[in-house]
């Protein structure tokens, strides 16, 4: 690493002395003419001592740019202005005694608060000044130097050059250690140190601080599709936009956010520190500025990308008094903002911590649940409304933990989707359902078919059709006994792949159903291109058949649509006889719900199948009556 002073840029030096004659002496010391003569003399001396040819005239030249102050207050103000402008002084020379005002020790202490990195030289003609005492009050001691008056001009210049080289080297090392090499922003360690200092000062002054936790939505998709170089370029452009959005943002009219208050934690996560805010609206305005800036299209090569951020906001002291707590809570708020949709922000609320702790607990337990054999399948019957015959069973996943007990399905399925655990769990469900179907088939029980729910993550795996074919082969099950249910929203997410995948699955031989139909607003034209055997009317429409004209119309339209397309239709969530009667009037093919049976464990499902086999000669009405299982009115389908 080359640490030689840059000979093209003047070395900026700040001087403070109360005597006019000494200030003039400093001007001559750092003057161009005297410096050139001094450097030429040094070159001559080196040539004589080491028998070397004198170097070219400008090769070793170092020029200075000196600002001369007459008081301690003036020099402190000059340091503050330089730091605020982003162009700090490397070296400051301070006279120890500057009557009648503050002295050099006072100035050194104030300067160190403004600029922790500046090299300070205390100049004194008095032998009663103990350097150790000053160093103790203005740490660190290795950045305080002393110069005894009177001094030689060359001594002052050499000290300035040496301290500048030290200052520059330390800044280079600090940049490597505390700044992100890609974006140039403060890294996690530096940002946390900055946040900690701001919080301590805010606590002492009774001021509040807001922290914005900024996460780019779906950033992994950019890396996966366009490559990491495109991802790096996106991060650099987003960093520049964050700077523009936040610099100059007024916080309560008192503070202007600077570049040092923005940092990159790693990956696609950033934080912005807003010291001394007076209103929550200031923090939300900053979040709005971030969202607006980042969601503008970004050009990456031949691609135009739209990025949206999710922003979490935590405010001290209410949401935390230390850096780690405030960061944690702003992260939680960011996570909850994602639930509202991309490009949103949310303030931290204490209730988020309870939910996050529950989620972390479930996630930890879920990771080993498959190996510990904690999953099971329950089966909910589906009946033909025209004949009362059992048409099939839907396999429903259940998780029972030895400590947590039965975990709600919607709660753990969401975690499984977010963590990717749904892929191995989904394969287990498929394999278990196929094995059970094979067993019941061998026993001669009339189960019709078994429906298996397929998660969006699992369905979008390009090898999913091959997995289905492999599982069927390994369990020695004919494909016709299995029906796969894919939700309408998943199909619409990637229609091109859905059309291809459904055709591949149809070639395997399994039946296919579109689950939760009606909530995704699929058109008749779209369905004509999809190789499906059945539509399942979403329970949200069925539950309101008795009270909502609109829901009755939607259910009726779906049933008629299925007949037009020549495919079956199943109504989910049937809980009352009036709902069943309406569906019969509309000639709905099949139905399932608590009116007929709740989801049953394997052993109970087998008992039901044996009852079905025993009731084959009963009338339709009698079959439905005998097979109905009374359930609590408030119960819902799992």
Query: 349-395 pLDDT, tens per residue?
Result: 888 877 777 887 888 889 889 999 999 999 999 999 988 889 999 99
pLDDT of 313 > 90? The answer is yes
| Most confidently modeled range among 80-94, 249-263, 330-344, 520-534 | 80-94
Domain with 25, as residue range(s), is 11-178
What is the band of 135 on the pLDDT scale with cuts at 50, 70, 90?
low
Q: What is the pLDDT of residue 488?
A: 80
How many other β-carbons are positioned within 10 Å of the β-carbon of residue 425?
22
Chain segment 545-602, per-residue pLDDT in tens: 888 888 888 889 889 988 888 889 999 999 999 999 999 999 999 999 999 999 999 9
272 vs 101 pLDDT, higher one = 272
In a domain, 610, yes or no: yes
Strands 375-384 and 600-601: antiparallel
Per-residue pLDDT band for 419 (boundaries 50, 70, 90) equals confident
Structurally, the chain folds into a number of domains equal to 3
Which tens digit of pLDDT belongs to each residue from 582-594? 999 999 999 999 9
Q: What is the pLDDT of residues 150-175, one digit of tens each?
A: 888 888 988 999 999 999 888 878 77
Averaged pLDDT, 282-304: 89
Both 300 and 375 in one domain: the answer is no
Tokens read off for 97: 């005694």
Residues 419 and 523 in one domain: yes
Name the average pLDDT for the chain. Answer: 84
- Band (pLDDT 50/70/90 cuts) for residue 447 is very high
Q: Provide the CATH number for the domain around residue 241.
A: 3.30.70.270
**In the predicted structure, residue 250 carries a pLDDT above the cut 50:** no
Q: Yes or no: say if 436 and 396 are a contact pair by the CB < 8 Å rule.
A: no
* The pLDDT of residue 339 is above 80: no
Residue 513's nearest CA partner among 481, 540, 483 is 483
Q: Please check whether residues 564 and 423 belong to one and the same domain.
A: yes
Alpha carbon distances (Å) from 185 to 54, 157, 175, 261, 397: 44, 34, 10, 9, 46
Is 183 part of any domain? no
Residues 6+ apart with CB under 8 A from 170: 117
Name which residue leads in pLDDT, 220 or 426: 426
* pLDDT of 411 above 80: yes
Rounded Cα distance between 41 and 60, Å, is 12
* Same domain for 207 and 173: no
611 belongs to a structural domain = yes
pLDDT band at 487 (very low <50, low <70, confident <90, very high): confident
For residues 406 and 339, membership in a common domain is answered with no
Residue 128 has pLDDT above 70, yes or no: no
Any domain includes 638:
no
- Distances from the Cα of 476 to the Cαs of 60, 480, 509, in angstroms? 85, 12, 14
Which has the higher per-residue pLDDT, 93 or 517?
Answer: 93
Pick the last residue of a domain from 159, 178, 197: 178
Cis peptide upstream of residue 100 (ω within 30 degrees of 0): yes
- One domain for residues 239 and 317: yes
Could you please report the per-residue DSSP string of 190-227? HHHHHHHHHHHHHHHHT-EEEEEEEEETTHHHHHHHH-
In this structure, the answer to whether residues 532 and 411 fall within a common structural domain is: yes
- The pLDDT of residue 142: 82
Residue 1 in domain? no
| 94 and 193 co-located in one domain | no
Q: From 144, 159, 178, give the residue that closes a domain.
A: 178
Percentage of the chain surpassing pLDDT 90?
45
Provide, rounded to the nearest whole percent, the portion of the chain with pLDDT above 70.
Answer: 84
Three-state secondary-structure class, residue 393: strand
Backbone angles phi, psi at 115, to 5 degrees: -140, 100
**Which pLDDT does position 562 carry in this prediction?**
87
The answer to whether position 561 is within a domain reads: yes
Mean pLDDT of all residues in 532-538: 90
CATH number of residue 365's parent domain: 3.20.20.450
Choice among 14-28, 115-129, 567-581 with the minimum mean pLDDT: 115-129
**Predicted local confidence at residue 633, as pLDDT:** 36
Instruction: Examine the pLDDT at 629 and tell me if it is beyond 60.
Output: no
Q: Please, which pLDDT band fits residue 634 given cuts at 50, 70 and 90?
A: very low
341, part of any domain: yes
Q: What is the pLDDT of residue 176?
A: 76
Interatomic CA distance for residues 390 and 606, integer angstroms: 13
Residue 402 falls inside a structural domain: yes
Judge whether residue 323 has pLDDT over 50: yes
Q: Are residues 165 and 222 in the same domain?
A: no
Output the pLDDT for position 251.
41
| Per-residue model confidence (pLDDT) at position 1 | 41
In the predicted structure, residue 332 carries a pLDDT above the cut 50 = yes
Give residue 579's pLDDT.
Answer: 93
Domain-terminating residue out of 178, 196, 224: 178
Indicate whether 97 and 142 sit together in one domain. yes
Are 126 and 233 members of one domain?
Answer: no
Who contacts 382 (Cβ-Cβ below 8 Å, separation ≥6)?
Answer: 390, 391, 392, 393, 394, 448, 451, 570, 590, 591, 592
pLDDT at position 38: 57
**Helix ranges (DSSP H) in 92-152:** 104-114, 131-137
Model pLDDT, residue 180: 86
> Are 132 and 159 contained in the same domain?
yes
- CATH number for 18: 3.40.50.2300
pLDDT category, 621, cuts 50, 70, 90?
A: low
């Amino acid at each position: 690493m080359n640490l030689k002073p840059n000979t093209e840029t003047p070395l900026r030096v700040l001087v403070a002395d109360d005597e006019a004659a000494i200030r003039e002496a400093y001007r001559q010391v750092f003057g161009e003419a005297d410096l050139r003569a001094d450097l030429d003399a040094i070159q001559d001396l080196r040539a004589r001592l080491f028998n070397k040819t004198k170097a070219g005239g400008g090769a070793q030249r170092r020029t200075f740019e000196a600002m001369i102050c007459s008081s301690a207050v003036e020099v402190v103000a000059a340091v503050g202005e330089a730091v605020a402008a982003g162009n700090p002084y490397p070296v400051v020379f301070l006279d120890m005694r500057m009557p009648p005002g503050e002295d050099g020790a006072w100035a050194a202490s104030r300067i160190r608060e403004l600029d922790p990195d500046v090299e300070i030289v205390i100049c004194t003609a008095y032998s009663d000044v103990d350097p150790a005492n000053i160093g103790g009050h203005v740490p660190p001691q290795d950045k305080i130097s002393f110069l005894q008056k009177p001094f030689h001009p060359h001594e002052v210049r050499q000290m300035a050059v040496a301290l500048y080289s030290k200052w520059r080297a330390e800044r280079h090392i600090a940049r490597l250690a505390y700044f992100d090499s890609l974006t140039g922003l403060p890294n996690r360690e530096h940002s946390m140190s900055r946040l900690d200092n701001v919080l301590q000062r805010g606590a002492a002054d009774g001021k509040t601080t807001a922290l914005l936790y900024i996460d780019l939505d779906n950033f992994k998709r950019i890396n996966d599709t366009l490559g990491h170089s495109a991802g790096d370029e996106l991060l650099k452009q987003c960093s520049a936009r964050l700077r523009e959005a936040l610099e100059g943002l007024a916080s309560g009219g008192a503070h202007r956010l600077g570049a040092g208050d923005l940092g990159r934690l790693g990956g696609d996560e950033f934080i912005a520190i807003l010291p001394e805010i007076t209103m929550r609206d200031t923090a939300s305005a900053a979040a709005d500025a971030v969202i607006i800036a980042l969601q503008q299209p970004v050009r990456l090569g031949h691609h135009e990308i739209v990025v949206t951020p999710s922003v979490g906001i935590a405010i001290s002291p209410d949401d935390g008094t230390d850096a780690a707590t405030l960061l944690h809570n702003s992260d939680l708020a960011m996570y909850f903002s994602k639930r509202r949709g991309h490009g949103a922000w949310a303030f931290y609320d204490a209730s988020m911590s309870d939910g996050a702790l529950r989620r972390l607990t479930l996630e930890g337990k879920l990771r080993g649940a498959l190996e510990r054999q904690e999953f099971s399948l329950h089966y909910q019957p589906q009946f033909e409304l025209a004949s009362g015959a059992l048409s099939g069973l839907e396999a429903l996943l259940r998780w029972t933990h030895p400590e947590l007990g039965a975990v709600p399905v919607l709660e753990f399925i969401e975690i499984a989707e977010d963590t990717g655990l749904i892929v191995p769990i989904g394969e287990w469900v498929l394999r278990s359902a196929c094995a059970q179907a094979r067993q019941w088939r061998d026993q001669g029980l009339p189960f019709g078919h078994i429906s298996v729910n397929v998660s969006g993550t699992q369905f979008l795996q390009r090898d999913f059709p091959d997995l289905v074919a492999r599982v069927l082969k390994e369990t020695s099950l004919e494909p016709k006994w299995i029906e796969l249910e894919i939700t309408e929203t998943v199909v619409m997410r990637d229609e091109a792949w859905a059309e291809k995948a459904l055709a591949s699955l149809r070639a395997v031989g399994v039946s296919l159903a579109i689950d939760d139909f009606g909530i995704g607003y699929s058109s008749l034209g779209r369905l004509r291109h999809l190789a499906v055997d059945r539509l399942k009317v979403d329970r949200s429409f069925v539950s309101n058949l008795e009270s909502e004209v609109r829901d009755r119309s939607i259910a009726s339209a779906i049933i008629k649509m299925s007949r037009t397309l020549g495919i079956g239709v199943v109504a989910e969530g049937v809980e009352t006889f009036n709902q069943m009667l309406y569906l019969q009037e509309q000639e709905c093919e099949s139905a399932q719900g608590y009116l007929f049976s709740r989801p049953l464990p394997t052993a109970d499902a087998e008992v039901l199948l044996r009852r079905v086999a025993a009731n084959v000669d009963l009338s339709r009405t009698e079959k439905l009556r005998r097979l109905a299982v009374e359930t609590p009115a408030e119960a819902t389908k799992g």
